[in-house]
Structure 1
Amino acid sequence: MRATDRSLDVVAFVSEHFRDILRRRLSEIVGLALITLALLGAIALTTWSAQDPSLSHATQTPIRNLLGFPGAIFSDLAMQLLGLAAILLLLPEALLGWRLLSHKPIGEKWRGLVWIVATFLAAGFASTLPRIGAWPLPTGLGGVSGDALLHLPAMIVGAPPAGLTLVAVSALFGIATVVTLAIAAGLRWPARNALARDAAVEIERDDADDDRGSAWIGMFAHALLSWKARIGRVFRRAPARNATRAARPAATGGRHEPRFDNLGRVAAPSIADEEEYVEHAPRRRAPVRVPPRRTGNGYTLPSLNFLTAQRASERTTLSKDIIDANAVALESVLGDFGVRGEIINAHPGPVVTLYELEPAPGIKSSRVIGLADDIARSMSAVSARVAVVSGRNAIGIELPNPTREKVYLRELLSTKDYNENTSKLPLCLGKTIGGESVIVDLARMPHLLIAGTTGSGKSVAINTMILSLVYRLSPQQCRLIMVDPKMLELSVYDGIPHLLTPVVTDPKKAVVALKWAVREMEGRYKKMSKLGVRNIDSYNARVAEAKAKGETLTRTVHTGYDKESGEAIYEKEELELEPLPFVVVIVDEMADLMMVAGKDIEGAIQRLAQMARAAGIHVILATQRPSVDVITGTIKANFPTRISFQVTSKIDSRTILGEQGAEQLLGQGDMLYMAGGGRISRVHGPFVSDDEVEKVVRHLKSQGAPEYLEEVTAGDLEDGEDGAVFDATDMGMGEGGDLYSQAVAVVKRDRKASTSYIQRRLQIGYNRAASLMERMEQEGIIGQANHAGKREILIPENPADDRY
């Protein structure tokens, strides 16, 4: 018999196999008790006597029933009510006890009602039979119930059934009794019964084999560990050299370690004590050491041993009883607020449990969503998130689990979803509510926008994304530009070979780096157009193919015309055969950059977001303040993929996601992931500590020094310029500046001179436009403002003096 629930809260500390054995023994005890109860009832009925004292008959005669006074009372009530059909009251208990004792599957609950109907029909059939000898009761052989059923035809026909009518009624009751008894007992047609019997035998044989196999495995493991302990005591008395060999047999043995690429799930990096290992052996794989992974150019990718693995004791399971109790309580809470519906399903996860509510007709989903805070208060939960389940007539209610299970990055990096994934830029986001791994491809997003308050897990998520890239890609495949105005989170990565430039902490240089990314994008498009390809994948494939064949890529270029003949002159241009790596720009705090150079940042990000996908340049933006002045409409329109951690208000949630719900998150990596198309799902991000990050960074630095490009942050940044240099027109305020020349040209052409007009035309701030107006007034280009605020333009439309 396969158990439907293998979790017992009171013995959660023991192994699953032992809990299964305990459940089977309890099932046998209950089955034996039911069979005993049915046997005692049969004894009471067979030794029944109408002369025994009972509730309907008071006498001083000795009790003849073998079970004494309780047996006399039970048998008298049963015979008075059902007559000879009282024996059918004992058959369900006996059958149920036999199924529990033999570990057979229990039938459906509705068969109990069929048993009751069959019992009353049998009583009616018994009342149609003639009385046997001296029947001691005034009723018929079917008792009070049988006589009542027998008088139903008399109410229709007008007279009690007799003769052929009585025979017909008796046959009707008899056939109905046999049919209902067959249905209640679960009997089938011969063919279906044979198939069901074969399936039951197969299931029983599998269960028996599983139990015997688990027992033999436990005995074998215990024997091995006992011999290991004895050998260890012997070798501890040996010299230190022998002790070292005994403690580390794998160092000298011929064991071949598994490769990282073929791993599905990897257990803890170090072997724990033997007792814990034996306890979790049936459900966890043996701990292994992950060997280093090398690329074709000698670069060694980081090992999983740098990351912490999840221990078996940290796994938590929510029992079915607790889930059912929460579902009933949730229905009651919703009913108190006037929401009628039924909890049809529940999906427990590592952090929260999703309860699917099927509302009654006429219940609006917005009404249930608005009760999120009231549901959390009534359920004594920290928070509750309510959202519509897409594609189904259900509303999802997410409640936090009593004990939160931590998700580790190593567990995600060791899954097949990551190792066998064909993603070009894989990112490990975490696990869903159901515990499934979420591995996404940054190259298909193609850009990512992240928002969340302090403590919500945003910085840890950025670390996990960076590690997801460096664990898969070498510096020749992926280069990084990190912008960290806070100078705290990303500075640890300074010096790894994946960087194109040192971690940028100056907001001015950050703008220059973004402008370099735009220029790099345009340069890549020129290279791809020369080869006639459309994206970076096709470009790298053409370059690799040419290198493999030893060919030189050339193209024919038109350079001019012959002066004598006038014919066109063509020359062959040799193209570079260097593959282009992916470039990922990571900005940890967008709000700081927007305060320094909002227009310039927005313009550069807009160009990258719109055009950089095919060139292999991708952007990850993160901010603590998801307000409209930071996440503008232009940025949101070009970032369809977004992640929101816990935010402070519904307004911030609507700003980043377009709907509320992020304010109900639990923090510490709990996020809402919105993929392209507006589909939102809840994901629990993995955890990676600072020590793990430092270990990986030390390994990366040991692979070689980074090859920085000075032009990434050098650009057009000049000394003495302030933050205003990064306006949209990229001009200064100095003498002869290009911005001033543009302002003079606008006034001369349009014959309009006002601060607001200059501000709109040049897309600059009010202070800058006012300064330009003052300068033009000082140089005699415009006059002073009159009482109406208008200025006279003193220069002609086509002045002879071209100073301006």
Structure 2
Amino acid sequence: MATGKSSGKKTTTRKVGATSKPKSGSRSKTAAKKPAARRSSPAKSKPSPPRLNDGQRSLLVGIIILFLTAVLTLSLLSPNQGQFTEWLSRLAALAFGIGRITLPLVTGGIGIFLVLRGMEQEPEVPYLRLLGAAVVFFVLLTFASLVAYQRDPVYADLFAVAAAGKGGGYSGAIIATALARLLGDLGAILTLLVLGVAGAVLLSGLTRAHVAGWLEREPRPSTGAEPAARTVRINPGRQKPVPPLETSPQLRLIPEEEKGKDPAAPKPDKAPVREKSRRGKKEAPPPVFIEADAPAVPAAPGSVWTLPRVADVLETGTDIDVNSASIRERVEVIEQTLESFGAPATVVEINQGPTITQFGVEPNYLVLRGGKRTKVKVGKIAGLADDLALALAARSIRIQAPVPGKGYVGIEVPNSAKALVSLRDVMESAEYGRMKSPLRVGLGQNVAGQPIGADLAAMPHLLIAGTTGSGKSVCVNGIIACLLLQNTPDDLRLVMIDPKRVELTGYNGVPHLAAPVVVDMDRVIGTLQWALREMDNRYKLFAGAGARNISEYNKKMRRDPNAQKLPYIVIIIDELADLMMLAPEDTERSITRLAQMARATGIHMVIATQRPSVDVVTGLIKANFPARIAFAVASSTDSRVILDSTGAERLLGQGDMLFQSPDAAAPVRLQGCFVSDGELARLISYWQTARRAQVIAAPTSTAATGSSPTRVVKGPVVLVDPDPETTGRPTAAVPPPVSHLNAPEPMPDAPAPQQRAPRIPTKPPDTPAQQPAFIAPAPAPQPATEQPATDDEQPSAISGLRSDDVLQQPLWEALQEMENGHDDTVENDDELLPEAIALVRSINKASTSLLQRRFRIGYTRAARLMDALEDQGIIGPPTGTSKAREVFAADDGTSTMETGETAGPDAPNGDQE
């Protein structure tokens, strides 16, 4: 038992020991964990100290620097205010000498910059100008130390001058001593001069282009002649760059000078120079006035016309205003809105234009359930246009998904303030100057603010559509202004069709017009048919000369002294819908054939309409017009008709357009150029004034004229007014009509001109193009008391000229016939007229539908053939019923009335007249 007890005790002791070890171990583990818990608990309980962001720090430091600037200014003005001000003034004198007076300006500028940066209004910092100012400052300090040392022999060296607070202080003394030891006295002075000039150049921003512009300036001629116009290439006004956004480290704003750079394009030799604006000038520039013995001032070799200067006619626009705070706010709204709709994206690029700002949005990745990452679909972002417009409180938002050639989606948001894009800014830009085509036109600026131009010869035709007030008429006037500013009447002829009678009629009297503006709808089809005949005639000329297009033909004609070149012809139709309502088949057929074949002959068309529906812009017309401009339209259906895609329904109007280039995959958004009525009036008045001329045929000898002063010139005729005070306003040169550009058909001789010149002379002068001609002064104007002015002689509202002063000389007799109100080449000289006479006499019946079926012609031509048959007494008048007309003088000599066959189902009155 004793053994059992002892064993039980031992067992109990072991159990206690066994149980005590784990307890001690557990205590040790808990004891080890508790200090860690104690260390972590105070960290959670203590609040984090407040920290200032970058803006607050900049604002605080800026305020402190401004305070120190005020104290420094007080110390320099009155150093005896206290010990601190006296010590501060002494320190500034030792450091900079007499240059201490500029220290408040430096410290004040730094303080203002930091304050503005803290208020998120960081201004643009001209680092090069600041570097130049610093170089000039230290050069002046060095010179001040040298002058003080040489003037006062009391000082042992330059450092003695600095210790006295004279000269440039220790700054000037250190620089002067270092340069003298390294380069010697003469080398130090030369180095300081070079550094001073370099600093002045950096400070003033002077470039090689400014120096070249000053050297190339020529004095104006004393004879009063206007210098020949020249093209001035400039870069558009630069806008202030927006600093990178803190919310997106990859975001960058492309400055305008960086956007236009092309790594493969050669750099121009000279930087563009911009001429001053003449915004206040309202009157037209004076025409070229040439004295009796003074040489002419031609626009080009062999030309007697002088082009108007762009700076004298057009005005400049306004620059783009960049608001950094507004852009940052919009970036945050766009990113938050896209993320809230499950399409996270990051703004990586911003392009600000005159009307809209394009935000380049790069789609982010979405994490799916299995951890797989997938990118946000572009279509999902494109479908959130209305939601983004609501979030940004914008009028309309257009999303381009994706931007061609870019790796992001373009979100175009309207600007709060629009910039005015002028035609002058586009025409004087470097991009526009690189285009060498005579038919180049300025369209506007894109979303990045870059000027955009197009070549009408390469389009080769342009179709414009847009609702009323969208900027369509301004665009057409801008295109016409570009053509008139760059081409003389020898190089370009215009044919204008204006059914509204108010849009293009102001150009009447401009010498570029082949005929006055066509406003009568009955003459429109004849005008288009004349263009077709002229196209065929030119192809015959090309075939005879072995040329493929108008450029090759004109090059070959330059080699022949007796030949003249062909001008370009641009047909401008203001409203296509009215023409399609009048004669849809003939209009569509003529326009389609011109669009298909007229490019090589130099005939181009610009057609505008405000109703882009399928019955106006038909498939045949649209297929031959690859270049199109769409302004704001009412619906996406109209946008598809003009552009084959949507987007025009989201435009803002007032010049906001989508331009579809023939060689572009997608339309480009532009803000069109604005041309005011005053600018157009000056341009029209310039060319109307240049037309005040009278051409006198040359006699065989000089003595036969008996007039003095006259002189002989070869080639084109130039008029001279020797005394502008007695003969009225100075006149410009005028060439004779081009005699070789006639219609293909033989034209009858026109009657002799009357004593008073008509509005369009009926016959060009008989003087050959290269025959020497004499130039005589224009007759002096008669006093107003001798003969009162009639209604036809009232001054013009635009230029103050009388109708006799503006002589519209035709190039083609067919257009003269249309001006007289008829077109004999279509009615009485139709090649089908003999066949029509034979047909109606052989079958003894006549109707319009019969002629349409037999000759496969349109209604208009068939109706004119019926009128010609009636005028010649071959058929009778219309009966007013569905029966055919009576045929007189048939083959058997009797008069018959055919009543057995009607005129056809599509002629309600027998012949549809």
1:711 and 2:818 equivalent?
A: no
Residue from 620, 623, 634 that aligns with 1:637: 623
Residue of structure 2 in register with 1:524 after alignment: 538
CA distance, structure 2, for counterparts of residue 670 and residue 395 of structure 1: 20
Structure 1: tracts of 5 or more residues without a match: 1-76, 83-88, 103-202, 225-249, 268-282, 548-575, 749-753, 790-804
In structure 2, relative to structure 1, the CA distance for the partners of 1:336 and 1:772 (3 Å cut) is farther
**Counterpart AA for 2:882:** E
Maintained 8 Å contact 1:512/1:714: no
> Whole-Å Cα distance in 2 between the matches of residues 760 and 377 of structure 1?
62
Cα 1:213–1:308 shift into 2, 3 Å: farther
Pick from 764, 774, 779: which aligns with 2:882?
Answer: 774
Q: Which residue of 1 aligns with 2:131?
A: 209
Over residues 452-476 of structure 1, what are the superposed CA-to-partner deviations in whole Å (9 max), with x where a residue is unaligned? 1111111111111111111111111
Q: Hey, what does 1:472 align to over in structure 2?
A: 486
Counterpart of 1:261 in structure 2 is 231
Aligned pair partner of 2:349 in 340, 345, 350: 345
Mapping of residues 95-110 of structure 1, within 5 Å = none
TM superposition shift of 1:416: 2.6
Change (3 A) 1:346 1:214: farther
1:490 equivalent in alignment to 2:504: yes
One-letter amino acid of the counterpart of residue 539, structure 2: Y
Give the match for residue 67 of structure 2.
none
Summarize the Cα distance change of 1:761–1:717 in structure 2 as closer, same or farther, 3 Å threshold: farther
Distance in 1 of aligned mates of 2:845 and 2:131: 90
In structure 1, the residue matched to 2:668 is 681
**Equivalent position SS for 2:493:** strand
Summarize the alignment of residues 283-302 of structure 1 with structure 2, pairs less than 5 Å apart. Answer: 287=276, 294-296=298-300, 297-302=303-308
1:602 aligns with 2:588: yes
Distance 1:460 1:454 in 2: 11
Q: Determine if the alignment matches structure 1 residue 695 to structure 2 residue 682.
A: yes
Paired position in structure 1 for 2:417: 403
Amino acid at match of 1:474: T
Q: Contact 2:628/2:643 (CA < 8 Å) preserved in 1?
A: yes
State the distance in 2 between where 1:306 and 1:591 align.
37
Separation in 1 of the partners of 2:432 and 2:512?
Answer: 20
- C-alpha displacement of 1:423: 1.6
C-alpha distance in 2 between matches for 1:614 and 1:499: 21
Distance change in 2, residues 1:396/1:213 (3 Å): farther
Contact 2:456 2:462 (C-alpha < 8 Å) held by counterparts: yes
Stretch of structure 1 that moved more, 529-538 or 707-716: 707-716
1:169-226 superposed Cα distances (whole Å, 9 cap, x missing partner): xxxxxxxxxxxxxxxxxxxxxxxxxxxxxxxxxx999574245489999x999xx9xx
CA contact (8 A) 1:740 1:772 kept: no
User: Counterpart in 1 of 2:443?
Assistant: 429
* Percent identical: 34
Shift of 1:607: 1.1
Answer yes or no: is the 8 Å Cα contact 1:263–1:416 preserved in 2: yes
**Contact 1:500/1:712, CA 8 A, preserved across alignment:** no
Residues in 2 aligned to 1:344 and 1:652: alpha-carbon distance in whole angstroms: 33
Q: 1:784 Cα deviation (Å)?
A: 8.5
Deviations 1:97-138 (A, max 9, x none): 99x999xxxxxxxxxxxxxxxxxxxxxxxxxxxxxxxxxxxx
Rounded to whole Å, the distance in 2 between the matches of 1:486 and 1:624 is: 12
Say if 1:294 and 1:760 are closer, same or farther in 2 by CA, change over 3 A: closer
> Do the aligned partners of residues 707 and 772 (structure 1) sit closer, same or farther apart at CA in structure 2, a change above 3 Å counting?
same
Cα drift, residue 771 of structure 1: 11
Distance 1:387 1:289, change over 3 A: closer
Report the aligned-residue RMSD. Answer: 5.4
**1:592 aligned partner:** 578
**d(CA) in 1 for partners of 2:515, 2:229:** 33
AA at the equivalent of 2:323:
S
Cα pair 1:457 1:668 within 8 Å, conserved: yes
Q: How does 1:294-313 map to 2 (within 5 A)?
A: 294-296=298-300, 297-310=303-316
Q: Give the equivalent residue in structure 2 for 1:508.
A: 522
Distance, in Å, in 1 between the alignment partners of 2:588 and 2:53 is 76
Q: How many residues align?
A: 524
Q: Which amino acid aligns with 1:353?
A: T
Query: Is there any run of 5+ residues in structure 2 with no aligned partner, and where?
Result: 1-38, 63-124, 138-195, 205-218, 238-271, 280-284, 289-296, 366-373, 692-806, 867-877, 887-896, 906-913
Per the TM alignment, residue 316 of structure 1 is displaced from its structure 2 partner at its CA by 3.4
CA distance in 1, matches of 2:900, 2:328: 80
Is this contact kept in 2: 1:301–1:472, CA < 8 A? yes
The 2-side partners of 1:204 and 1:308 are apart by: 32
CA distance in 1, matches of 2:813, 2:569: 15
Give the structure with the larger helix fraction.
Answer: 1
Shift of 1:449: 0.3
TM-score scaled by structure 2?
A: 0.49
Q: Give, in whole Å, the separation in 2 of the partners of 1:474 and 1:641.
A: 25
Return the match for 2:390 from 370, 374, 377.
377
**Partner in structure 1 of residue 361 of structure 2:** 357
The answer to whether the Cα contact below 8 Å between 1:511 and 1:600 also exists between their aligned partners in 2 is yes
Distance 2:842 2:389 in 1: 59
Mapped partners of 1:396, 1:294: distance in 2:
48
1:77-116 alignment, distance < 5 Å: none
Q: Secondary structure at the match of 1:330?
A: helix
1:619 to partner: Cα distance? 0.4
Instruction: State the alpha-carbon separation in 1 of the partners of residues 515 and 136 from structure 2.
Output: 57
- Distance apart, 1:712 and its partner CA: 4.3
Q: Which residue of 1 aligns with 2:754?
A: none
Tell me how far 1:773 sits from its aligned partner: 10
Give CA-to-partner distance per residue, 1:311-364, whole Å, 9 cap, x none. 6xx423223332222122122333444433332222111110111222355655
Offset at residue 393 of structure 1 (A): 4.0
Paired with 2:323 and 2:228, the residues of 1 have a C-alpha distance of 35
TM (normalized to structure 1)?
0.56
